[in-house]
């Protein structure tokens, strides 16, 4: 699916429609010392162990991409999800 590189949309900071630069959101690296990873490590180490999270039997083929729109006047970023599964999201 083709998505335009710049879109005119409402900016809550400027309180009017301005041009926004679009880009795809990428997840960062998971922190090793975060509460969630520490909890998972504790779960795996205690008792007889075993998996606490199982992989899905049927994986979804496509993903709903998250986009980040940056206002070109105030440089504020808004992230949003396009609620449609797509194989490929291209910025044109």
Q: Which residues would be at the binding site for Zn ion (CB under 5 A)?
A: 11, 13-14, 71, 73-74
Of 72 and 90, which has the nearer Cβ to Zn ion? 72
Query: Residue 45 CB, nearest distance to Zn ion (Å)?
Result: 48
Q: Which is nearer to Zn ion, 18 or 43 (CB)?
A: 18
DSSP 3-state of 78: strand
Q: Which C-beta is closer to Zn ion: that of 11 or that of 69?
A: 11
User: Among all chains, which residue has been given the structure tokens 């599964």?
Assistant: 85
Buried b (16+ CB within 10 A) or exposed e, 4-34: eeeeeeebeeeeeebebebeeeeeeeeeeee
Question: Taking the complex as a whole, how short is the minimal distance between the CB of residue 50 and Zn ion, in angstroms?
Answer: 50
Output the smallest distance, CB 55 to Zn ion, in A.
42
């Amino acid at each position: 699916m083709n998505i335009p590189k710049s879109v005119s949309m409402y900016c809550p900071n400027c309180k009017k429609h301005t041009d926004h630069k679009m880009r795809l959101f990428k997840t960062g690296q998971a922190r090793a010392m975060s509460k969630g990873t520490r909890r998972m490590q504790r779960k795996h180490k205690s008792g007889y162990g075993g998996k606490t999270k199982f992989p899905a039997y049927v994986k979804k083929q496509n993903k709903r991409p998250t986009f980040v729109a940056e206002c070109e006047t105030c440089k504020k970023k808004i992230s949003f999800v396009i609620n449609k599964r797509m194989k490929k999201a291209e910025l044109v």
